[in-house]
Amino acid sequence: MRPAARFAAPLLALTLAVLPAAAYEVNDSHFHLTNYIQRGTDIHEFLKIMGDKVGRVALFGIPLQQTWDYGNSGDFAPTYYLQTDAPLYYYSFTDAFIAMAYKSLTKEEQARFDPMITGFNPTDMYAADHIRRVLTTFPGVFSGIGEFTIHKEFVSSKIAGETASLTNPALDRLLDFAGEVGLIALMHSDVDMPFPKPGQEPYQVEQLRDLFKRHPKTTIIWAHCGLGRVVHPVKDQMAIVEKLLTNPDLSHVYIDISWDEVAKYLVATPETIQRAADGINRYPDRFLFGTDEVAPTEQVKYLKVYDMYKPLFAKLTPEASEKVRKGNYERLFDEARRKVRAWEKANQGGSK
Ligand SMILES: [Zn+2]
């Protein structure tokens, strides 16, 4: 698009942090700076990868650490949860790591990030206390919680300790607290089992709806509208999503269309593209773009999902396209920033 930019890189880098919001193409509501072994991209490098394409990013690590269990994989050091049978465990230090990365930036650079708290165990009644502690230790930093996970294919069953559930009061307690503070809650919960028997009831749909209903004061983003690597769109996925979007008790729930595994379903055929576009055009305020990239090393890889969605964006009205790419992010996260800063001020007398 802008071949001159390649040759003017050093000059461009100096000005990137101060471009007006309208100059960017897209905001990213779902991004992991670090991976399952807590390694990732240096945040200053990542700013260069965002370049003049991505304006703002919801920034988090991954709350789960893959154990390197010598008895299981020997000298092979797993870096991903599919590479070993050894368990995952909650790694709270991720929040301090993300906060310190954010604090290493200039004020102008910080304005491009919305850090999120993820290092809590959603089956623990004390999870909300962890979030409170992170906010009071690092005031002025965080805008939300998540991405945290309840049902996720191949992952949930590998986590040491109690299995997460949508009906656990610990989850209610932490969503209540997020609502009280004004933190956005970005939650991953699959809409169905990985390999359901034909006609099997997707019980997660009802449990999710009930959970969302119990927390009307919390802004919730449902990650990937419940899809996964093999959790494919349940029969009439769009009908389920529309039911959610038209329910007046669920007007606080939003959907992110992040992850290449999700994009592959939505852009599979001209028909799936049209169906997804029709849904988004009907409810343009309720969808957010996200990449779900993990620790990318270059812009091409980082924007892979954005490029996959080109045919979908082409089918959106100009208004819907603008909202999904940028406007909804700015509206929700600006509000979260305002509310969380106010809570911090009220709860410890100043946010700096
Ligand atoms: Zn993710």
pLDDT band at 183 (very low <50, low <70, confident <90, very high): very high
Residues whose CB falls within 8 Å of the CB of residue 45, separated by 6 or more in sequence, listed in order: none
Distance 147 CA to ligand 1 centre (A): 6
Distance 293 CA to ligand 1 centre (A): 7
| Cα–Cα distance for residue pair 192/224, rounded to 1 Å | 12
Distance 349 CA to ligand 1 centre (A): 34
Could you report the per-residue pLDDT of 130-178, keeping only the tens digit for each?
999 999 999 999 999 999 999 877 777 788 788 889 999 999 999 999 9
Could you report the per-residue pLDDT of 12-69, keeping only the tens digit for each?
554 555 688 888 999 999 999 999 999 999 999 999 999 999 999 999 999 999 999 9
pLDDT of residue 241: 83
Distance 186 CA to ligand 1 centre (A): 9
pTM of the model: 0.90
Distance 203 CA to ligand 1 centre (A): 23
Distance 294 CA to ligand 1 centre (A): 8
Distance 236 CA to ligand 1 centre (A): 24
The count of C-alpha atoms lying within 13 angstroms of the C-alpha of 322, restricted to the half-sphere facing its C-beta, is: 8
Between residues 157 and 3, which one has the greater pLDDT? 157
Is residue 52 helix, strand or coil? coil
Distance 345 CA to ligand 1 centre (A): 30
Q: Is residue 26 left, alpha or beta, with left meaning phi > 0 and alpha meaning psi from -120 to 50?
A: beta
Distance 139 CA to ligand 1 centre (A): 24
Distance 264 CA to ligand 1 centre (A): 16
Distance 296 CA to ligand 1 centre (A): 13
Q: Of 289, 274, 215, 285, which is closest to residue 245 (Cα–Cα)?
A: 285
Amino acid letter at 294? V
Q: Which residue intervals of 126-225 are DSSP H helices?
A: 127-137, 169-181, 203-213
Is residue 347 helix, strand or coil? helix
Q: Of 82, 47, 52, 86, which is closest to residue 70 (Cα–Cα)?
A: 86
> The tokens of 271 are what?
């028909």
